[in-house]
Amino acid sequence: MEEILKKTIRDIPDFPKKGIIFKDITPVLKDAAVFRRLIDYFAERYEGRGIDSVVCVEARGFILGAALAYKIGASFVPARKPGKLPADTYRVDYDLEYGTDAVELHKDAIKKGEKVLLIDDLLATGGTAAAAAKIVKQAGGVVEEIAFVIELDFLGGRQKLSGYEIFSIVHY
């Protein structure tokens, strides 16, 4: 799967700012066969592990998480930017390179003791994933694993997630 993804993921230089090479998964999503293989690959890993919910942070994580939750028979739980969820929420603030951000989760989205899989397209510095893991814990869930399509090893995001099982398919 790693080689197929590496051939399909597109590099976009100088996005979102000069000096950054953006790893674009939209060609993976556009290719129905590759996208299906990616979801099946994740599903093979998580089927039979008793995952109750798949939690994803917007936006690309939603695409992967919804398809995977459906495939493994789990619920899909969106973790969103502040102000996007209509009911009572938990909130976790986290630091960015320049400033802060936050993630919110409905208070009734996860039951105490639920086994949760976090999934996103990319692990960079780890701030967003760490915040998502923290909010799942705050809601009473148990993070079984945090999964990514891509991990940018040189940014060291895995260190912010120590104590959690991490799975990434493609490493740069």
Active centre residues (catalytic): 60, 97
DSSP of 113-143, one letter per residue? T-EEEEEEEEESSSHHHHHHHHHHHHTT-EE
Distance CA 116, CA 50 (A): 9
Q: How far apart are CA 73 and CA 43, in angstroms?
A: 10
Distance from C-alpha of 42 to C-alpha of 5, rounded to nearest angstrom:
13
Do the bridges between strand 142-151 and strand 115-123 make them parallel or antiparallel, or are there none, so unpaired?
Answer: parallel
